[in-house]
Structure 1
Amino acid sequence: MNRLTYDDVKQAADRVAGRVRPVALAPTELGTTPAPRGAGQVWLALEFLQHTGSFKARGAQNFLLAHRAAGTLPDAGVTIASGGNAGLACAWAARQQGVPATVFLPATAPPVKVDRLRSYGADVRLAGARYAEALAACEEFTARSGALASHAYDHPLIAAGAGTLFEEIHRRLPDLDTVVVAVGGGGLFAGVATAAGHHGVRVVAAEPVNCRALHAAIEAGAVVDVPVDSVAADSLGASRVTPLALHAARRADVRPVLVPDPEISRARDTLWATHRIPVEHGAATALAALTTPGTGYRPAPGEQICVVLCGANTDPRTLTDAPAH
């Protein structure tokens, strides 16, 4: 399935209602200062307050709930190869559903990630030295055990779950003109763009200059592989976007924006220095789309904008009190 519909997002919203934390919104002057850029109001969507620290909990919950309703959630539970936000979300959602979660990681994974996954009750298995080897072990386990294979972003149920975030934003901000999201593999973008397109809201798709999978796909008219090299690569470093994301980009009002690493780091430090918000570089990429001089997104006078801060699984010791210049 290479397309996502608004009905998919609405069904996901009904499923996850009461099972995920409603998004908190906060008004801010960030993105309009120090040099006024004409925005009417900028809001921050504090999705990093979500269970497990990122929006991924929405997709993981929707994925398992849909399979349970369809009778396709096996006794062997769910499995995924991911030591990042997707793995954490999968383990958390599985615990909520009372099914086993088996998470595969490279043997080089930091002990803190392993410990956190185990705190959610996951069976953590270390395989190989690279992600590709962990993925191969996960696939072999799926074939042998009958466990349900999940994915970090490349599945319509995962993307639709992510799109429920925008449904909540739009309910709170019905006059919203533009939503800004960071793009990695495209699960969050596909869900948000599908819902935003239904409501006539523009989407600014923010990517690091050297992690431009969506940008390249839009230019090529097809999903293509791209090199990955960015300070935000830990969460946005997909070598290609899902076809769901490219389809959503073709149907919605999407403005792709590329931001350099120094501006991503500056936006992250600014959020900490001025709001005491500790986010990942990936989340800060969305704000950097508004604050990057010259190539950033320039709002029209009076434009109402919401910036999605999608995750905060980060090392706070790397934050600085003084924004970089």
Structure 2
Amino acid sequence: MDKPTILTGDRPTGPLHIGHYLGSLRNRVALQDSHRQFVLIADAQALTDNMNDPARVTRNVDEVALDYLAVGLDPAKVTICLQSQLPALSELTMLYLNLVTVARLERNPTVKDEIHARGFARDIPAGFLCYPVAQAADITAFRATVVPVGEDQLPMIEQTNEIVRRLNRQSGRNLLPEATALLSEFGRLPGIDGKAKMSKSLGNAIALSASDGEIRQAVKMMYTDSNHLRVTDPGRVEGNVVFTYLDAFDPETAELEALKAHYRRGGLGDSVLKQRLEAILIGVIAPLRERRAAYAAEADTVRDIVRNGTMLARVVTQQTLEWVKSALGLYAF
């Protein structure tokens, strides 16, 4: 318990992709020795905008667990758990909803952006509007002090800390710790079509289980510079999806800078860049795919890992719930 506690997780709406790998999964593996880490498969949160097809969420629980193991998360070092099987999270959410106004939720920039992206207008599922409160319940239930997020999620951490401060004031003690955001070294990786969001459902992602052929096809489809019509034409590096991916994954930074300079002055074809990126991404994904296939052959073992992690997480989160209820003076048998 002397290690800092980290809470991370993903919604099981599809297999994870290289955007997840770059943004958080690599970092989770790097931190699993230095931190006590809980990794939450957020199936309950996924229902906030997938309630029309809950079977999709259930199907993908195993897929996400396989991706976790494939990238190197060690169940002896991290606790992989299933959100819907932790009843304390729902009870904490209900308590916290009484500490937050609808107006505050609607002002949350992350929520506003997501509502606009999904075209909800005023037809917002109540569960979706309230998911910052559910996320606060997740973070505080594990007493996490570190939460890896992208910049777009910073308002969620602030809303969590507002709830923590309110609880601590009301109870007259430091009942729960505030959480610190741990920003990724890299920003959000765009989709292969150049759109800001990478999503399996949009067909613009490269899954961690992608075959070599699928990787080559995805790179072939990537946007470069629409004005770079001939090899001799000067090309634009900024906003060029291929260069964005090379910046993220190419370990030979000096060579990459030389390629950028060559591209800018003209004389370097897109095909050369794409072949380089193909080889790099295949080198990253192939060993993950092989480990994933090995774990997939032991499906019962994978489910046991999630089940055992969930049982441990249930003890931790239930204890936090009891602390909160006691501090608020709620009736207890």
Same-fold call, TM cutoff 0.5: no
For Structure 1 versus Structure 2, the TM-score category normalised by the shorter chain is under 0.3
Q: Give the number of the structure whose alpha-carbon radius of gyration is greater.
A: 2
- The structure richer in helix per residue is 2
> Under a length normalisation based on structure 2, what TM-score does the superposition of the two structures give?
0.25
- The structure richer in strand per residue is 1
> Under a length normalisation based on structure 1, what TM-score does the superposition of the two structures give?
0.25
